[in-house]
Every structure is written in C-alpha cells, then in structure tokens.
C-alpha cells in the first residue's frame, strides 16, 4: 500500500513538472509567436519583401528541438531527435510530416540555422527551393510543385507549422499521462538540460573555444 501511495504521489509530482515545462512552450507559441506573426502580417502589407517571414520559422524550431530532446530522454544527436519528433509526433497531426521530416530538418539546419534563408537542395537531379508563406491563397502547406524538368518548389505555411506543433504537444501530454517510460524520459532530459555546462569539458569538445573567451569573467 505504501508503494502504491508513493507511486501516486510521484505521478502527481511528475505530471505537474511536465505540465509546467510544456506550459512554457505553449506560452512562447501563443504569446511570443503570436505577437511576431501579427507584426509580420502588418509589415507584409506594407512591403512583403522586408517582412522577415524566415524569423518566424526560426522561432518555432528551437521549441520543437527542446520538446524533441525531452521525448528522447537525453541530450545529443539533435538532428535525429528533431527528425523523429516531427515524423512521429507531428506526423500524427499531418501525415505529410512522415514523408518530409528529415528533409525539413536538413534544409533548416543547413539553411536557416546558419544562413539567412532556407538552403536550396539538389535531389535526383532537380533543384528544390522553399517558399515559406503565411495565409497565401492558392498554396497549401507541404505541397510540391514542379517548375520545369529540373526545378521543384516546396510550399511551407509557417502558421500551419506552428499550429501543428501546438496540437502535437496536446497529444503528447495525453501520452505522458499513460506512458511511464515516456514520463521518465521527459524528466531525465529535463534534469540534464537544467545542469550548468562545464567550460572545461566544453573546451575539450569544441576546439574553437579557449580560455580567452571567458576573460570577461575575471
């Protein structure tokens, strides 16, 4: 009986921590992202070329990356964790993610993460470009159109992407209530993320990082 009571209490504590962490992600999506997309919408009416839609895309990916690590249960191999979350979790919201998750991450990591726009890719002899849009008539999220024999264009609705992610979180929370292994993964990763990074250990991994980079702390 004592073991059962302990498990019930532990379950309640874990779910509160999980709800808190996912609540922070929801807050960013429903507040920060909502403000940003509203600003983009107003700016795009004045000059669409200067509205900065890629910035909206950059806001969403770190949130997905964070949740993906929690589901995985540990830090590391971010590209794989991110791909798996988009494929498995967001794929339950829209099955097109099951067929495009790796490509989405590939283009993001080699484009928007390090450059100012999505990376063009070459696939099976065709150049693939992205068209990131917001409520654009005549275009649908994750549709592909051929433009000649050697060129394809992937249409990507940034608002749809955010709403699909938000729905995946709602589904994840239900799964967490019923899956002990998933809850343990979540909490193990959360604890690991909360630990401070050792500069000494990091310098061993990242050779570009030197003692000089921390001179300001003296």
pLDDT digits 0-9 by tens, 123-181: 888 898 887 777 766 678 888 888 878 898 888 888 889 999 999 999 998 888 888 88
- Give yes or no for a contact between 128 and 153, defined as CB atoms under 8 angstroms apart: yes
- pLDDT, position 201: 82
CA 196 to chain centre: 22
pLDDT of residue 101: 92
Give the pLDDT score at 60: 86
pLDDT given for residue 212 in this prediction? 85
pLDDT beneath 70: ranges in the chain: 1-13, 44-52, 75-77, 110-116, 136-138
pLDDT the model gives residue 6: 41
Q: Can you spell out the DSSP letters for 33-79? A: HHHHHHHHHHHHHH-GGGS-HHHHHHHHHHHHHHHHHHHHTSSS-HH
pLDDT of residue 42: 72
Please tell me the predicted confidence (pLDDT) of residue 5. Answer: 46
- pLDDT at position 9: 46
């Amino acid at each position: 009986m004592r073991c059962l009571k302990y498990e019930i209490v532990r379950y309640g504590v874990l779910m509160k921590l999980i709800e808190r962490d996912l609540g922070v992600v929801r807050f960013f999506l429903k507040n920060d992202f909502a403000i940003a997309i509203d600003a983009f919408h107003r700016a795009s009416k004045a000059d669409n070329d200067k509205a900065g839609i890629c910035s909206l895309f950059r806001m969403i990916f770190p949130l997905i990356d964070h949740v993906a690590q929690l589901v995985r249960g540990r830090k590391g191999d971010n590209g794989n964790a991110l791909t798996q979350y988009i494929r498995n979790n967001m794929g339950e919201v829209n099955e097109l993610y099951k067929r495009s998750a790796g490509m989405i991450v590939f283009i993001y990591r080699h484009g928007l993460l390090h450059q100012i726009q999505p990376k063009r890719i070459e696939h099976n002899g065709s150049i693939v470009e992205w068209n990131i849009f917001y409520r654009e008539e005549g275009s649908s999220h994750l549709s592909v159109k051929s433009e000649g024999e050697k060129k394809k264009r992937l249409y990507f609705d940034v608002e749809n992407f955010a709403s699909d992610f938000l729905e995946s979180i709602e589904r994840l929370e239900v799964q967490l209530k019923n899956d002990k292994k998933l809850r343990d993964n979540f909490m193990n990763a959360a604890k690991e993320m909360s630990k401070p990074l050792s500069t000494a250990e990091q310098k061993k991994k990242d050779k570009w990082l030197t003692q000089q980079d921390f001179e300001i702390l003296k």
